[in-house]
Chains A and B, each alone.
With several copies, the nearest count.
Chain A
């Protein structure tokens, strides 16, 4: 078994969560890597939708931004952005969404807006983007975040995106149609919601990680499942595919662009 980084393990674990044939709303960064890894390994018929309007895209390199030309060229169709959100997401036609954030709480609610008060923030983050409605509508939400006691917090500074709100049936009472968070994939393992309280529970860990490691990296008293599964390390195929994808991506993004002006 080759050595691998926690980032690689995270990406592989996220990829494994994707079922072949699922329709997936893809965000940039690790989710994009995970979705394309899944598509290039066990889930060749995964349908990828990027919010830029590229539907059914099959990029050969990962986009740096959500609207790279590569996504348009390999898409089944390229549609106006508003239609992605209305005809696909809001209409309930997306199975899986991927989100990250700067902060998460025990019920899978996310903050990507501010650290500190909204009007006088200490850190102004990028904001909502597609997140609130992705989390509202997808049947199954996957969250991918590095786990630290600073990011897994007792109390969000700002709730950008609703997970299970205050837990229990709060989400369905609020009328949110999608299924809410299915799993939180971290650099240490996976948290999944308790079926009753909807509180995130540590249910699986990566090799070389202990339950105490995970507890220490959490800002609330983390509940632990009765049996904590061990997640199988990346296979050779998974690692090779991911690294080849990332090599192609680095290569594609390295060179400067030169424009020929008309004379």
Chain B
């Protein structure tokens, strides 16, 4: 077993993410790696294929800042609030640049991650039948016939991101990473990835991991950055809650191109670290 290097967030992103790559920042409401996304914006990454089940605010920000050429996703909204205005602007008006879509349902994208995590070239589900997704995204959706029953099912190609980035509560000093609480498709996105980079709330001597916990072995992790508050305004169970008020406030910030750009400049581009970002956004106690 090789212990992954513990790097600064800046170095971890600079070392592993390059323009044009397929990158998945996963986390379902919980443990969304905002700090990592902001750092990619600071480093002016471009032409990325961004993969996420629920693009959420972090991809709204990355899309609005021109990082993305393509989006692989299954539901693109501000949960419980409304639209992702930057995602909409990119799709509806190609601002700041055109955005290609590889669009699925949750069940479908989960199958694609699971196939990638399992070393299979495709996955199978009972779904998509009778929907226009099948024609809108023809190259990524096929049918397949069960050789035993003759049933016709839907086949989807495996997802194997060049880099998956997760935020997790804990790593131990060997680099084993604990996932806990709502994990979404984090495990599958991690196992599917060619390279896995993780930000964590803290490093501990001993993971708070019962016997059947979700632990990612150290030898599957390429780099770890310790970033307290790294999921904010998403949350890290047991550390801090989701800032629902920020999600509500984002609706106004993101609605207008100029206001969005100014906010991103002030809060992300002009802060050097995530701790500075948290200070400036007023999220530090």
Comparing A8-16, A67-75, A209-217, A228-236, the segment that makes contact with chain B is A67-75
Q: Are A124 and B242 in contact (CB under 8 A)?
A: no
Q: A159-178: which residues lie under 8 A (CB-CB) from chain B?
A: 159-162, 165, 171, 174-177
Per-residue B-contact encoding for A21-64, CB less than 8 Å = 1, 0 else: 10100001100000000000000011100011111100000011
Say yes or no for B4: interface residue by CB 8 A criterion. Answer: no
Which of the four size classes fits the interface of chain B?
35 or more
A8: min CB distance to chain B, Å: 18
A91 to B189, CA, bound (A): 12
Give every chain B residue within 8 A of A68 (Cβ-Cβ).
29, 242
- Chain B residues 225 to 243 lying within 8 A of chain A, measured CB to CB, are 228-229, 232-233, 235, 237, 239-243
Are A132 and B133 also in contact (CB < 8 A) when A124-B91, A257-B233 are? yes
- Chain A residue with Cβ nearest B285: A258
Known: A255-B245, A259-B278. A80 touches B184 (CB 8 A): yes
Known pairs A82-B185, A130-B106; A176 contacts B130 (CB<8 A): yes
**Chain B residues within 8 Å of A21, by CB:** 1-2, 219
Say whether A123 faces chain B, with CB atoms less than 8 Å apart: yes
With A69-B30, A126-B75, A132-B128 known as contacts, the answer to whether A256 contacts B232 (CB < 8 A) is no
Chain A residues whose C-beta falls within 8 Å of the C-beta of B243 in the assembled complex = 256-257
Q: Is the CB of B118 within 8 A of A128?
A: no
Q: What A residues does B87 contact at CB under 8 A?
A: 124
Contacts of B73 in A (CB 8 A): 127
Instruction: Knowing A51-B106, A77-B209, A262-B228 are in contact, say whether A256-B131 is a contact too (CB < 8 A).
Output: no
Check A155 for interface membership: any CB of B closer than 8 A: no
B41-73 Cβ-contact flags toward A at 8 Å (1 or 0): 000000000000110000000000000000001
> Complex Cα distance A76/B214, Å?
10
> How near does chain B come to A98, taking the closest CB pair, in angstroms?
15
| B220: Cβ under 8 A from any A Cβ | yes
Shortest Cβ gap from A63 to chain B (Å):
7
Contact between B53 and A77, CB atoms less than 8 A apart:
no
Q: Closest CB-CB distance, A30 to chain B, in whole Å?
A: 11
Which residues from chain A contact B132 at a C-beta distance below 8 Å? Answer: 113, 118, 158-160
CB of A242, distance to nearest CB on chain B (Å): 17
In the assembled complex, how far is the CB of residue B90 from the closest CB belonging to chain A, in whole angstroms? 9
A164-197 interface code vs B (CB 8 A; 1 in, 0 out): 0100000100111100000000000000000000
In the bound assembly, the distance between CA atoms of A172 and B125 in angstroms comes to: 17
Please name all residues of chain B whose beta carbon is closer than 8 Å to the beta carbon of A63 when the two chains form the complex: 80
Name the residue on A nearest B160 (C-beta): A91
Query: Is A223 an interface residue, CB under 8 A from the partner?
Result: no
Q: Which residue of chain B lies nearest to A87 when distances are taken between CB atoms in the complex? A: B191
**A121–B101 alpha-carbon span in the complex (Å):** 13
Interface of A is mostly: loop
Cα-based distance from A169 to B87 in the complex (angstroms): 38
Question: Do A81 and B184 touch across chains, with their CB atoms under 8 A apart?
Answer: yes
Once the chains are docked, how many angstroms separate the CA of A79 from the CA of B73?
A: 21
Contacts of A47 in B (CB 8 A): 1, 217, 219
Given contacts A72-B182, A91-B118, A132-B128, contact A259 B232 (CB under 8 A): yes
| Cβ-closest chain A residue relative to B137 | A118
The reply to whether A81 and B126 contact each other, CB–CB distance below 8 Å, is: no
Q: Please, which residues of chain B bring their CB within 8 A of the CB of A85?
A: 106-107, 110-111, 125
Q: Quick check: is B74 within 8 A (CB to CB) of the other chain?
A: yes
**Taking the nearest CB of chain A, how far is it from the CB of B38, in angstroms?**
15
Complex-state Cα separation, A6 to B279, whole angstroms:
43
CA distance A81 to B182 in the complex (A): 8
Task: Write the nearest CB–CB distance from A115 to chain B, whole angstroms.
Answer: 10
Which of chain B's residues have a CB closer than 8 A to the CB of A150?
none
Inter-subunit contact B285/A259 (CB<8 Å): yes
Report yes or no: B120 in contact with A90, Cβ–Cβ below 8 A. Answer: yes
A259 touches B129 (CB 8 A): no
Assess whether B228 is in contact with A261, with CB atoms less than 8 Å apart: yes
Q: Is B265 engaged at the interface, CB distance under 8 Å to the other chain?
A: no
Q: Given A85-B110, A92-B119 in contact, is the A127-B1 Cβ separation under 8 Å?
A: no
List 11 interface pairs A-B (beta carbons < 8 Å), by A numbering.
Answer: A67-B184, A69-B237, A90-B125, A113-B133, A127-B75, A128-B106, A129-B75, A160-B133, A176-B129, A177-B126, A259-B278
Residues of A within 8 A of B (CB): 21, 23, 28-29, 45-47, 51-56, 63-69, 71-73, 75-82, 85-87, 89-93, 109, 113, 118, 121-133, 136-137, 158-162, 165, 171, 174-177, 253-262
Known: A90-B107, A253-B248. 6 other contacts (CB 8 A): A66-B28, A75-B211, A90-B118, A125-B77, A127-B103, A132-B133
Chain B: residues with CB nearer than 8 A to chain A? 1-2, 28-30, 53-54, 73-77, 79-81, 83-84, 87-88, 91-92, 103-108, 110-111, 113-114, 117-120, 125-133, 136, 151-152, 176, 181-188, 191, 202, 209, 211-215, 217, 219-220, 228-229, 232-233, 235, 237, 239-248, 275, 278, 282-285
